[in-house]
Amino acid sequence: MSGAPPLPWLAADEDPRRLPDPSTALADPNGLLAAGGALTPDWLLAAYRRGIFPWFSTGQPILWWSPDPRAVFDPRHFRPSRSLAQSIRNRGYETRLDSDFAAVLAACAAPRGDGGGTWITGSMRRAYQELHRLGLAHSVETWHEGQLVGGLYGVRLRGMFFGESMFSHARDASKVALSRLIEEARAAGIGLIDCQMPTPHLTSLGAETLPRGEFLRRLATLVGAEEPGQPVAQARQL
């Protein structure tokens, strides 16, 4: 980041609507926008409304990101692969919504063989548990013979679902949860599912990429204008 301008620092007691414009995010690392702030519902919802999300590791300050391009699932375009369709039909999986959000969050945060998962710090877990309590964060779960074997969680704001993380302990279990999320999104009028950073894994599942400007335009349409002093909504259903 040699020669890059200093990263804006946000005080925890600032108005979260003062988060910087995503267009000012760094190109390297892609999308890094600001540091500081807080992981309260007001901060998180203000960030999501602006196409910004928190992502940091233990020992780091809160870091805020808005990458370009942005990975998304468009529910209109998603089609399960033949192998996934077979898993949905033949593996005896059951999908549920919000039946054990805490367990999904813990499984997503657990260390994995590839070294992933540990970015979901204790403070992040507490923050999303609070959003779940408020009816804004949701889990989509895959169960087999009474055991939780896969799932994902994220935040819904009006016509957007902001996916945060997924896990799998059985073949295609996270993909089955994703397929259920797509079904629910279509039924609920959710126009876009945010996947944050593009990765080969997401692309293999059918994720698309949007330039940041296009993502922000669609976000504004699907979430709507923020009203000054708007309280945290009690959106109980996915």
The pair of three-digit structure tokens given for residue 45, joined into one six-digit string: 């919802």
Amino acid at 205: L
Residue with tokens 């999308």: 31
* Pick from 170, 175, 162, 163: nearest CA to 201: 175
For 165-181, write each residue's pLDDT tens digit: 999 999 999 999 999 99
SS3 (DSSP) at 23: helix
For 31-49, write each residue's pLDDT tens digit: 999 999 999 999 999 999 9
Q: With a cut of 50, say whether residue 162 has pLDDT above it.
A: yes
Q: What are phi and psi of 143, to 5 degrees?
A: -120, 150
The pair of three-digit structure tokens given for residue 91, joined into one six-digit string: 């593996």
Average pLDDT of the residues in 77-86:
84
Q: Sign of the CA dihedral 137, 23, 43, 126? A: positive
Rounded-to-integer distance, Cα 170 and Cα 166, Å: 13
CATH code that applies to domain 71-223: 3.40.630.70
Domain 9-67, CATH number (from 3.40.50.720, 3.40.50.360, 3.40.50.880, 3.30.70.3550):
3.30.70.3550
Decide if 194 contacts 210 (C-beta within 8 A). no
pTM value is 0.91
The pair of three-digit structure tokens given for residue 179, joined into one six-digit string: 């397929």
Spell out the residues 6+ positions from residue 82 whose beta carbon is closer than 8 angstroms to its own.
Answer: none
For 112-158, write each residue's pLDDT tens digit: 665 554 679 999 999 999 999 999 999 999 999 999 999 999 999 99
Rounded-to-integer distance, Cα 204 and Cα 72, Å: 12
In the structure, what pLDDT confidence band is assigned to residue 3 with cuts at 50, 70 and 90? low
Q: Do domains 9-67 and 71-223 have the same CATH topology?
A: no
Rounded-to-integer distance, Cα 232 and Cα 100, Å: 22
Q: With a cut of 90, say whether residue 5 has pLDDT above it.
A: no
* Pick from 140, 206, 145: nearest CA to 170: 145
Query: What is the residue extent of each domain of the chain?
Result: 9-67, 71-223
Rounded-to-integer distance, Cα 61 and Cα 153, Å: 23
Average pLDDT of the residues in 87-112:
93
Helices (H) and strands (E) in the chain, counts: 7, 11
pLDDT at 1: 45
H-type helices in the chain, by residue range? 41-49, 82-90, 101-109, 122-133, 173-188, 200-204, 212-223
